[in-house]
Amino acid sequence: MHMFFKSYYNEGPGVSPNETEKTGMAKYFELLFNDFWSFIGISMLYLLSCLPIVTIGGATLAFNRLCCKRISRKHVFVLDDFKESFRENFKKGILLSFIIIFVIVDLIILYSNALGYMEGDERGRQAVIVWAFCCITAILLFAILQYLIMVIANFEPQPFVQQLQNAVLLMISGGIRTLVMAIFDIVVFAVCFTYFPFSGMVLFAGG
């Protein structure tokens, strides 16, 4: 229950000087366990800020920056820091909003066409080729978008072409981790799209 109801009146167990830094999923669950309500607050602000559609980019950049600060063990005032980061990133987030919307629409089209081919009468080589093309394109789009958001949110301002190049380089250097992240996001997207609107509750809970 500690992750839901913290006590700020009792001393915690402290941190052992010999404790090794956690990585990967272990670090993710440690952060979630110790700072559950901060992440819930950031997620709720993000969802509310995305409602006007055109603000999706700025909200996404603010969300990413605050999450990166928490991962780096930096203190975050959820509401104030989100508002400040959102204001700073609003203008450069407008272009990102259109990119995100383009990627989402493109993925919906790819997903719908792939399902149409797989469910149709023709299940031969053409269907396999279309399905493979859709999967590869979706993975590349998601992978580049993930790193592009991180580059824009956390690095010094650069021309967009340079930011895109940096995102591609990070995607390539990420290797198998990039592939796993992209596939996971695509699976979540496909499930949410298939079972919409019930998936909205899942997105809100796990945001």
Average pLDDT of the residues of the chain: 75
Q: Would the pTM count as exceeding 0.75? A: no
Nearest 5°: phi and psi at 15? -120, 125
Q: How far is CA 121 from the centre of its chain?
A: 36
With beta carbons less than 8 A apart as the criterion, state whether 3 and 36 touch. Answer: yes
* Confidence band, pLDDT 50/70/90 cuts, at residue 7: very low
**Cα–Cα nearest to 106, from 172, 164, 195, 189:** 189
With beta carbons less than 8 A apart as the criterion, state whether 99 and 90 touch. Answer: no
Q: What is the pLDDT of residue 2?
A: 46
Q: What is the mean pLDDT of residues 50-78?
A: 85
Q: How far apart, in whole angstroms, are the C-alpha atoms of residue 181 and residue 62?
A: 20
The DSSP element (H or E) to which 97 belongs, if any, is helix 78-119
Residue 159 reports pLDDT greater than 80: yes
Q: How far apart, in whole angstroms, are the C-alpha atoms of residue 187 and residue 191?
A: 6
Q: What is the pLDDT of residue 25?
A: 66
Beta strands in 83-202 (DSSP E): none
